[in-house]
A and B are shown apart, each in its own frame.
Chain A
Amino acid sequence: MRLFQRLRNKSSSATSSGGSNYAYVTARVRAMKSNLLPKETYSRLMNMDLDEITRFIGETQYKQDVDELARKFKGVDLIEHALNRNLAVTFSKLIDISEGELNYLITEYLKNYDIWDIKTILRGKYYNATLEEIKDNLVSAGQLKYNFLSELAEKESYEHVIDTLSNTDYYPILKNYDGTNLPEIENQLDKLYYQRLFNAIGTPKSSDRKLFSKLIRTEIDIKNIKTMFRMKKEGVEDGELEDLVLDGGLRLSLKEINSLVPLPFADFINSLEKYPYWDAISDFASPDMESLVDLETSLTKYSIKSAASFSHEYPLSIVPIMDYMINKKNEVNNLRIIIRGKAVNLDDEIIRNQLVI
């Protein structure tokens, strides 16, 4: 009888917090992953001209988005909007089909799109970008819906934008924006995002949660390494760099970053040798390197690869879903790079170097 009662309590508490439907979502996500463009497609796309690429994209999974937006936009803009819309629809679908704890984690993870959109709008207002330019870059994959975001973009000044956002979690940070300190606000938003994500994960007890946390922390490490390289390359003062890096990395703690930062560029590269990311950067990092493109592409590849290998460890967890989200985002980025590159007649070699395949 007691066992029965315990079972009943357990099942009722599971429904109140909402049981997660891992089996359904992961199987569906795996099927969705099989719809992603295979690697060979990119080399084929590279040999096509812009019209052919546009037609090709219109025949793939982006068909519906291209058809629906065809009345409003055309050419490269059409594809760009279709890609963004598809990304937003796909990610919102993940939120819609998941339940309980899984839904909560996906929602928290996708909030980086809300932050991305807020940043885009504020940046647009800062540089007096046109409404079309701002709207081109909006991806409503998070909690903020496209209509709301385009209304935000239509506001006259940043004050109005921030006032409209007054009932969101970002307001306490946004209200300090005075029209000049945009980079500072952006960094604080990023920090808030990761802080909230770590709160959502909590202290990971189960192995799949540990893996999820590991994946997020690897992402932070990679972001930090990219930031460090960029800032080192530009010769930014040490004091500023510390505000830009994120806390909570897996291998690179804040303390280690602080000790790496003051080193001269050559020593800085050498001291990265002891981290697992060295394999990804060793071919490209040298004291007299000119461009960071290769290095950043390689690091992005590394994060995609690590997500893929993690996703096989725990098939019924959030990790395969994360893996899909990372790959989907990468596909959209690659297509955008090809289209934008072709549109401005960039050399094929330059476009190819930018692609993360």
Chain B
Amino acid sequence: MVGEEAIMDPAGLKAIGAGLAVGLTGLASGIAEKDIGAAAIGAMAENEGLFGKGLILTVIPETIVIFGLVVALLIS
């Protein structure tokens, strides 16, 4: 009985794993986008035509969190 109680529910572990996958990759994307976003705004302040390029480059690190999301979906 005691041994059985010590084992955690596999569904709970999966949920934690999925949460970590999304949460940590979200943080990572945020850190990566910080400087790119600042740089994009800086370039845009001087030349408005750079808006499109700036936007695209800024969201490229978003792929990291998308991978995290995919992993989270695969786990759960």
Contacts and interface: CB of A to CB of B under 8 A. Distances in A.
Contacts of A24: 38-39, 41-42
A21 B35 CA distance: 8
A28 B36 contact: no
Contacts of A316: 35
B64 interface: no
Most chain B CB neighbours (cut-off 10 Å) among A22, A28, A30: A28
Contacts of B42: 23-29, 31, 97
Contact of B46 (A21, A23, A32): A32
Interface in A229-283: none
Given A24-B42, A25-B42, A31 B47 contact: yes
A34 B50 CA distance: 12
Tell me the dominant secondary structure on chain B's binding face: helix
A97 B35 CA distance: 15
A164 interface: no
Nearest to A316: B35
Interface in B34-66: 34-36, 38-43, 45-47, 50
A50 B34 CA distance: 48
A35 interface: yes
B60 to A, nearest CB: 15
B57 to A, nearest CB: 10
Contacts of B40: 27
Interface core residue of B35, B39, B40 (most chain A CB under 10 Å): B39
Contacts of B47: 31, 34-35
Interface string A286-323: 00000000000000000000000000000010000000
A35 B42 CA distance: 14
Contacts of B34: 23
A326 B57 CA distance: 29
A316 B50 CA distance: 19
Interface in A1-27: 21-27
B35 A28 contact: no
A30 B40 CA distance: 11
A27 B45 CA distance: 10
A347 B42 CA distance: 43
B50 A23 contact: no
Contacts of A28: 42-43, 45-46
A23 to B, nearest CB: 4
Interface string A29-46: 111101100000000000
Nearest to A29: B42
Across chains A and B, which 3 residue pairs bring their CB atoms closest together, nearest first? A28-B42, A27-B39, A31-B46
Given A24-B39, A31-B46, 4 more contacts: A22-B35, A28-B42, A30-B43, A35-B46
26 contacts: A23-B34, A23-B36, A23-B38, A23-B39, A23-B42, A24-B38, A24-B39, A24-B41, A24-B42, A26-B39, A26-B42, A27-B39, A27-B42, A27-B43, A28-B43, A28-B45, A28-B46, A29-B42, A30-B43, A31-B45, A31-B47, A31-B50, A34-B47, A35-B46, A35-B47, A316-B35
